Amino acid sequence: MLQEKERVEVIIPIYNEELCVDELLKRLLALKEKINYLKMNFIFVNDGSSDRCPELLRDYANQYNFVKVINFSRNFGHQFAVTAGLDYADADYVVIMDGDLQDPPELIEDLYKKSKQGYDVVYGKRLRRKGESFFKEHSARIFYKVLSMMCDIKIPPDTGDFRLINIDVLKVLKEMRERHRFIRGMVPWVGFKSAELPYRRDGRYAGKTKYPLKKMLAFALDAIFSFSNTPLRITIYFGLLIVGLGMAGALLILYLRFFTPFTIPGISAVIVTIITMAGFQIIMLGVIGEYIGRIFEESKSRPLYVVKDVMNLNPIVTTQAQSAPTRS
C-alpha cells in the first residue's frame, strides 16, 4: 500500500503585506511542487490588515484548497496571529514563518530534513541580519543576552520565530493559553530535542516593518516579565543595599557626633535620603504593578484573539480554542 504523505503546515502571520503576498505565494507554490513527497498546507493568518491583503488571500483560498485563511476581527498582534495558526494547525510538522519573505520559504525543506535526523524542533538561526538597521541588530543582541541572564529557560540566541516543530511540541503549545505570549520562549520551555539550522536572513521583500520601536519595546518587556521574576529579585537586592548604606551612614553620624568634634549638617542629607528612598519605592511599586497588571489581564481569561471568519478550515467550536480543532 502506498504510504501516506507526511503533512506539513506553514503558518504565516500577515499584517498589511499586500506588496509581499503575491511573491510569497509564488515561492510557496514552487516549493510545494518541488517537495511533493510532503502534503503541504499554508495557513495565512490575516491579523486585521487594512490593505488589499484580505481580498488577495480570499482569491488564493478560492483557487487552492491547500491555502487556508484565518481572518481576525482586528489587529491582535504577531504573537496572537501565530497562536491562531497553531490552534488551527493539524499536521505532523508545523513551520512558522514571517510573511515578508525575510525567512526564505525554500528553507522549509531543509528544516524538515533536519528534523528527520531526530529533532522535534528545528530553529532557523540567523547568520546575518541583512537589511536591518544597526540599532535593531545591536539592540536585539543585547536584549537576548539580558533575557538569557534573567530566565532559566535557554532561548537560543539569533533565532526569530522561523522554526519547525513536530506534532508533539504542537500539542503542548496548543495547551499553553497564557495571554502574554513570547513564542520564542514558549517553545524552548516545552523542551524535547532541538537543533539549529543556520541561514542568511534576507531583507524585507517590500513594505515597511510592522514592528515599530514601541511595539518592539512592549515585546521585549513582555518577554522579560512573563519569563522571569528577576526584576522582583533585583528590587529586593537593591532594597537590602540601600538599607545597608543607610545603616552605615547612621553609624558614621553617631561616631562623628560622640567621638569627634564634627557633626554632619542635617537638613540637606535628610532631603537627599528621602528623595532617594521615595524614588526607589516608586520603582519597586512599578515593578510589582507590572506583575499585578499581568495577573489582572490573565484573570479576565478572555479569548486570546477573535476570528471573524475562516476559509478552507472548520471554525473551532470552543471560544478559547482549547480542544484540538477539526478541519476540512
Binding site for ligand UDP (CB under 6 A): 13-15, 17, 47, 75, 77-78, 81, 98-100, 102, 204, 209-211
Nearest to 313, CA basis, from 295, 297, 327: 327
Concatenated DSSP letters for 272-320? HHHHHHHHHHHHHHHHHHHHHHHHHHHHT---S--EEEEESSPPPSSTT
Q: Which three cell numbers stand for residue 122?
A: 528545528
Strand partners, 122: 164, 195
CB of 311 to ligand UDP, least distance (A): 17
**Residue 313 DSSP label:** S
Residue 174 interacts, among Mg ion, ligand UDP, none and using kind-specific CB cut-offs from 5 to 8 Å, with none
Q: Which of residues 99-138 bind Mg ion (CB under 5 A)?
A: 100, 102
d(CA 208, CA 15): 11
Rounded least distance, CB 265 to ligand UDP, Å: 55
Minimum CB distance to ligand UDP, residue 233 (Å): 30
Q: Which does 15 bind (CB under 5 to 8 A by kind): Mg ion, ligand UDP, none?
A: ligand UDP
Least Å distance between CB 326 and Mg ion? 32
Question: 310: buried, middle or exposed (CB in 10 Å: 19+, 13-18, 0-12)?
Answer: buried
The residue range among 95-103, 119-127, 151-159, 236-244 that interacts with Mg ion, by the rule CB under 5 A, is: 95-103
Here the cell at position 180 is 502574554
Q: Which does 313 bind (CB under 5 to 8 A by kind): Mg ion, ligand UDP, none?
A: none
DSSP state of 203: P
Residue placing its CB nearer to ligand UDP in the complex, 137 or 297: 137
Q: Quick one: which segment of 91-99, 149-157, 164-172, 283-291 binds Mg ion (CB under 5 A)?
A: 91-99
Cβ(116)–Cβ(37) below 8 Å? no
> Residue 79 corresponds to which amino acid?
Q
Shorter beta-carbon distance to Mg ion: residue 5 or 130: 130
Does residue number 92 form part of the binding site for Mg ion (CB under 5 A)? no
